[in-house]
Amino acid sequence: MKITWDLISKHIHPHTQLQEKLEEKVAHLGRFLQKFPQDAVHLHVKLEHHPKTALFTSALTLALPTGVLRSERTEADPIPAFDHAVKVLLREVESLKSHLRREDVRRAPEPEAL
């Protein structure tokens, strides 16, 4: 599934390697969202460099028909920050899909007849 996404960057210019990594990870995330309608899924990526602390923050917001999922990670390098944020978002997507399949609701065993 091809996800529509946009990138907002603050105090950082996404170089070629970072742009390729973003596209690769967004495509990977799209494989987990096959069952959702394509026009109802949107990913918002925000990359920010904090000049005083020399840290990079990556914040991902995924809008789905069932709700909004968000993850945010701060690292010393922008690529690991983005990688970790995507991993957290993938865990949230898997949790949401499990909830939608009602896997979290377990039936209590029925009492045996006497």
Out of 3.10.450.40, 3.30.160.100, 3.40.630.10, 1.10.3720.10, select the CATH number for domain 4-33+40-100. Answer: 3.30.160.100
Does residue 61 surpass a pLDDT of 90? Answer: yes
Distance from C-alpha of 84 to C-alpha of 67, rounded to nearest angstrom? 21
Q: Where are the domains of the chain?
A: 4-33+40-100
E-only strand ranges, 18-104: 42-50, 55-64, 67-75
- Mean pLDDT on 67-87: 94
The tokens 């603050």 sit on which residue? 10
The three-class DSSP label of residue 74 is strand
pLDDT tens digits for 10-53?
999 888 988 999 999 999 999 999 989 989 999 999 999 998 99
The per-residue pLDDT for 104 is 62
